[in-house]
């Protein structure tokens, strides 16, 4: 099982209810993958995986070619394993205040934009999406 969470924002209870503390929550988007894992410990499989990572995240190079026989890499390669996950099933869960009336979500959106923490804009956009997508489905565009 592999779970990927994007926590968009945590809100205080008083944004939703002036007295009830149970309204505090975290808004998030989550995907849960049921997987079959294959583990490879041979140094060439590990090196191939590391090359793919470097190609993606350090495409400019700046390192000696990754060869498991090279003394520079041999020790590290012996301590790593390559894991490949084959996805069997997946499910997504968005907790974006859909259980609250649109007006309550609009108040939270305004508070998020006013507060202005690093992810608050993304959280506000995600909550706005819950309002807009319902309107689109109802043909109110």
Report CA dihedral (51, 56, 61, 64) to the nearest 10 degrees.
Answer: -20
Dihedral angle sign, alpha carbons of residues 52, 53, 54, 60: positive
pLDDT tens profile 88-116: 999 999 999 999 999 999 999 999 999 99
Residue-wise pLDDT tens digits, 31-83: 999 999 999 999 999 999 999 999 999 999 999 999 999 999 999 999 999 99
Q: By C-alpha distance, which of 44, 27, 31 is closest to 1?
A: 31
Is the confidence at residue 138, as pLDDT, over 90?
A: no
Verdict on whether the full-model pTM lies above 0.75: no
């Amino acid at each position: 099982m592999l779970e990927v969470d994007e926590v968009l924002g945590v809100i205080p209870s008083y944004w939703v209810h002036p007295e009830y503390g149970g309204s505090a929550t975290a808004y998030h988007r989550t995907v849960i993958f049921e997987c079959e894992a294959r583990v490879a410990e041979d140094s060439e499989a590990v090196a191939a995986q590391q090359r793919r990572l470097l190609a993606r995240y350090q495409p400019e190079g700046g390192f000696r070619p990754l060869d498991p026989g090279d003394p520079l890499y041999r020790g590290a390669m012996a301590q790593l394993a390559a894991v490949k996950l084959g996805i069997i099933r997946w499910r997504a869960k968005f907790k974006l205040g859909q259980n609250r009336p649109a007006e309550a979500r609009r108040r939270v959106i305004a508070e998020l934009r006013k507060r202005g923490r690093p992810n608050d804009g993304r959280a506000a956009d995600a909550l706005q999406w819950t309002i807009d997508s319902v309107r689109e489905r109802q043909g109110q565009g």
